[in-house]
Amino acid sequence: MMEPTGFQRVLLLEDDRNLSLTLGVALKRLGLKVTSVPTIKKAQEQIESEKPDLLLLDRMVPDGDGLELCADLKSRAYSGAILVLTAVGDLSNRVKGLNAGADDYLAKPFAWEELEARIRALGRRTQARTAPGPEHPGTGGWELDPARLRVRGDRGWVQLTPLEFKLVSHLIRAGGNIVSREELLKDVWGFSLLPKTRTVDFFLSRLRKQLEKDAENPRRLLTVRGAGYRFEPNSTP
């Protein structure tokens, strides 16, 4: 019996009919319910009605760029995983995709085996790993719930995307120590070559808005100029 991917419903945004059909058949063999659409407008309609937990987004489609949809969904706290599939695969565009909120980025042409491996890797981030436990010492009241990809911050429980949860977990588990930008890009995003990007700052800004009482004056998720970032467990109101 094939190992589950960790997802149930996938929406495929792809305007190449032949590729869409081929991927649709392969994805169904993984046990996924697949909906394929050729435009951003149709994708928005299906996301609203079907609530897919995985999106595979092509970039250049007839009515725009799939990254526009990605950024819009992330701004509205979409909690599913997003994998961008595109012929535009150079480093600067991969960084642009991640900055838009994508959880992964795969350049065309790609082997099916690589796409399957990336889907399974994303699925492992979303699967239940441990049940919510008691408050951990040293977190100042913040709690991690890996089973549901939730964090209890200063505003209460907040549902995060897999990548957001991985980032805030990494900082919290550092126990107040400074974590460098380079370490985060390697351990959270998986970069081997480190690009010049404001990806970390972009994601931290979004996390502050969701988890901090005052995102403009953060007390928990801090930037340490010239050194990196850290979580402050002992902040006072």
pLDDT for 104 equals 85
SS3 content of the chain, % helix, strand, coil (to 5): 40, 20, 40
CB-CB contact of 13 with 56 (8 Å): yes
Other Cβ atoms within 10 Å of 210 Cβ, number = 16
Q: Which two tokens stand for residue 127?
A: 């699967």
Task: Tell me what pLDDT residue 29 has.
Answer: 92
45 vs 89, more confident: 45
All domains of the chain, ordered by start, with CATH? 9-126 (3.40.50.2300), 143-231 (1.10.10.10)
C-alpha distance from residue 57 to each of 37, 60, 75, 83, 193 (Å) = 10, 9, 17, 6, 24
User: In 45-149, where do the E strands start and end?
Assistant: 54-58, 60-61, 64-65, 81-86, 104-107, 143-145
Burial class (CB in 10 A: 0-12, 13-18, 19+), 117: exposed
pLDDT digits (tens, 9 = 90+) for 111-155: 999 999 989 888 876 553 333 444 444 577 898 888 778 898 998
For the stretch 26-54, pLDDT in tens is 999 999 999 999 999 999 999 989 889 99
Q: What is the pTM of this model?
A: 0.60
